[in-house]
Homo-oligomer: A and B are copies of this chain.
Amino acid sequence: MSKTLRIIPLGGVGEIGKNMTALEYRDDLDANDAILIIDAGMMFPEAHMLGVDLVIPDIAYLLENRAKVLGIVITHGHEDHIGALPYILPRLNVPLYATRLTAGLIQVKLKLNKVRDANIEVIPDRAAFQLGPFLVETFHVSHSIPDGVGVAVTTPIGTVVHSGDFKLDPNPVDGAMTDFAKLAELGARGVLALLSDSTNADSPGHTPSEHVIADTFARVFALAEGRIIIATFASNISRIQQALDAAARFNRKVCIVGRSMQDNVRMAVELGYLNADPQQFIRADEAEHITSSQVVIVCTGGQGEPTSALAKMANREHKQVTLRPGDTIILSASAIPGNEEMINKTLNNLFREGATVYYDRFLDVHVSGHASQEEQKWMINLVRPKFFIPVHGEYRHLVMHARLAQELGYRRENIFIVENGDVVELDDHTRGRVLRQEVSATDVLVDGIGIGDIGNVVLRDRHHLAQDGFFIAVLGINMRTGEIVFGPEIETRGFVYEPEAESLLEGAKQVIRQATAASAHDMGLSATLKQELSAYLYKTTRRRPMVIPVVTEL
């Protein structure tokens, strides 16, 4: 009987974000065919995706094969691994498998998005369960959030290991290290393919332990005389724990500001993933009435996002917290590429308010949650797969991760550098090959309530409009004589400042009148007008607005 295992990256390979991988088992008996999904993340739009709210993976292939899909294993509770769930679960309602904290974060998210009836099975971090032809085993990995796992999936033709997002932190905040024992056991049993986190494949050495942040916080807390405000991701539970620990040590109360962070903290405390005395927490209004030197505020805003609590404080727009001289602010994050300008703006505004601000340029206020090169080598060495597939990274990270594997002795033909939509097909003779762009894996854009209705045409128009605006000429012509009956009326936005552009507009009207008179009532008047107007406007301004003539025949 011929059997194949197909590894299908639907997101997160060749980009950082919206992680989703499908594993598909096939054999001659169709009844055995099955698909297992790992993660369902979202991604923030790239700069050219104007007006887009977020980006999720393309699940067309999964919907076509809906009957085969047995479930989704979620490795951890970060947005790039769970953020697509509110959008795909209503269409692909399959069971979710997640550890306790991850399940809690998913529930918070689904509730916020009014998605009901999700079927979430809570699993321990070292779990083993059978789903159709798949034996699913999970193992703990340390990352910037507790309760993260990697996944080993054993099929009739072999085992595939997915590292999840990991680092080999020797001193993680929650004390839970990456499960070397399980990785070694898997390696000993024999692994067909390893999919491993490539995020930091361009970082030599080891990623520092999350614990170095404790030293930084201690230094800053020792110096600070007023309030301390710490900004980080709402999902960075480990960092929030460190803030709580430092606050306890320096006898400060902690005020959690912002809806998403409050929800996460409440849930993490309830589930026992945040270790804090309930007495330590205070509300924002209570924080106003105790000495500044006894207050820590923890909030969102590590990326300077305009809607975050920190950016609102910096802009004097936050309802509960008004900055004052003497405040000390720690931006406990590093910039996601593309966010630098927002971060700098927020930093400058914080300095304008007279705050003392610490950020990553001159203090270790953040460490990565992802393995650097030496740790990535350990993962490969422990698991010792036949095939290596770098995932979770931009293209350059995949290539550099592949080169690390080559340094360890892997031959190039046993390494698959793939992108979303490629299929790695492994057969029962442990042969592997890549089918390029076999499966649809486009960026699915979410804009308002539209999911996937916006594509390149709309984005190209938005880009054009963003550059030079539009110029619309409305006129009516007599069907018989070809003479202008009304208009031309001009509507233009984003092109010129109208009050100062009278002569330009008058000139454009002249162009329209002449072109209409010369066109001898042919059918191509709109095309002619578009051409002549575009030429006139470019000559006059060296700009190229979107030109649209609206000609009505009466």
A interface list, Cβ under 8 A from B: 14, 46-47, 50-51, 202-204, 335, 337-338, 340-341, 344, 347-352, 357, 359, 361-362, 394-396, 399, 447-450, 453-455, 457-458, 461-470, 472, 474, 476, 485-487, 489, 491, 493-497, 500-501, 541-543, 546, 548, 550, 552, 554
A466 in contact with B497 given A203-B362, A486-B476 (CB within 8 Å): no
When distances are taken between beta carbons in the complex, the residues of chain B under 8 Å from A463 are: 466
CB nearest neighbor in B for A495:
B458
Provide the bound-state CA to CA distance between A422 and B348, in Å.
Answer: 17
8 further A-B contacts with Cβ under 8 Å, apart from A51-B543, A337-B344, are A14-B348, A46-B341, A351-B399, A357-B396, A448-B541, A453-B500, A454-B496, A491-B550
Residues of B within 8 A of A204 (CB): 362
Instruction: Chain B residues near A344: list those with CB within 8 A.
Output: 337, 394, 396
Q: Which residues of B contact A350 (CB under 8 A)?
A: 396
A497 touches B455 (CB 8 A): yes
Tell whether, in the assembled complex, residue B468 and residue A51 are in contact, meaning their CB atoms are under 8 Å apart.
yes
Partner of A465, one of B474, B487, B494: B494
Cβ A51 vs Cβ B457 within 8 A: no
User: A476 vs B550: C-alpha distance in the bound complex, in angstroms?
Assistant: 12
A341 vs B43: C-alpha distance when bound (angstroms):
14
Given known contacts A351-B395, A362-B204, A465-B462, A552 and B470 CB-to-CB distance under 8 angstroms: no
**B335, B395, B466: which contacts A462 (Cβ < 8 A)?**
B466
Does the CB pair A489–B453 fall under 8 Å? no
Contacts of A465 in B (CB 8 A): 462, 465-466, 469-470, 493-494
Q: Cβ of A542: which chain B residues have Cβ within 8 Å of it?
A: 448-450
A493's partner among B470, B486, B495 (CB-CB below 8 A) is B470
A95 CB, nearest partner CB in chain B, Å: 30
Interchain Cβ contacts under 8 Å between A and B, 6 examples: A347-B394, A450-B543, A458-B494, A462-B494, A474-B474, A486-B552
B50 contacts A497, CB within 8 Å?
A: no
Known: A468-B51, A470-B465. Contact between A351 and B552, CB under 8 A? no
Contact residues in B for A455 (Cβ distance below 8 Å): 497
- Residue of B202, B399, B461, B554 near A361 (CB, 8 A) is B202
Distance to closest chain B CB from A467 (angstroms): 4
CA distance A351 to B397 in the complex (A): 9
Residue among A47, A349, A396, A501 with the most chain B CB within 10 A?
A: A396
**What 9 pairs across the A-B complex have the smallest Cβ distances?**
A448-B542, A466-B466, A465-B465, A337-B340, A51-B467, A461-B494, A348-B395, A462-B494, A461-B493
Question: Is the beta-carbon distance between A487 and B394 smaller than 8 angstroms?
Answer: no
Separation of A350 and B395 alpha carbons in the complex (Å): 10
Distance from A104 Cβ to chain B, minimum over Cβ atoms (Å)? 28
> What is the predominant secondary structure among interface residues of chain A facing chain B?
mixed
The CA-CA distance from A47 to B339 in the complex, in Å, is 11
Distance in Å: Cβ of A44 to nearest Cβ of chain B:
11
In the complex, chain B residues whose CB is within 8 Å of the CB of A487: 552
A467 touches B50 (CB 8 A): yes
Expressed in whole angstroms, the Cα–Cα distance for A465 and B464 within the complex equals: 9
Nearest CB on B from A418, distance (A): 13
CB distance from A376 to the nearest CB of B (A): 13
Minimum distance in angstroms from A227 CB to a CB of chain B: 19
Point out the residues of chain B lying under 8 angstroms from A491, CB to CB: 472, 548, 550
A258 to chain B, nearest CB (A): 23
C-alpha gap A461/B340 in the complex (Å): 24
Given contacts A50-B467, A447-B543, A458-B495, contact A486 B554 (CB under 8 A): yes
Query: Which of B50, B202, B352, B448 is within 8 Å of A466, CB to CB?
Result: B50
Q: How far is the CB of A141 from chain B (nearest CB, A)?
A: 23
Given A46-B341, A457-B497, A497-B457, are A362 and B202 also a contact pair (CB < 8 Å)? yes
Taking a contact as CB atoms closer than 8 A, the residue among B347, B453, B543, B548 that contacts A396 in the complex is: B347
Bound: A161/B164 CA distance, A: 57
**A349 to B394 CA separation, bound complex (whole angstroms):** 10
Q: A476 — which chain B residues lie within 8 A by C-beta?
A: 476, 486, 552, 554
In angstroms, Cα B485 to Cα A487, docked, is: 15
Q: Of residues A335, A449, A474, which shows the largest number of chain B Cβ atoms within 10 Å of its Cβ?
A: A474
Complex Cα distance, B250 from A139, in Å, reads: 51
Chain B min CB distance to A28 (Å):
37
Q: Give chain B residues whose Cβ lies under 8 Å from the Cβ of A546.
A: 493
Measured CB to CB, the closest approach of chain B to A527, in angstroms, equals: 15
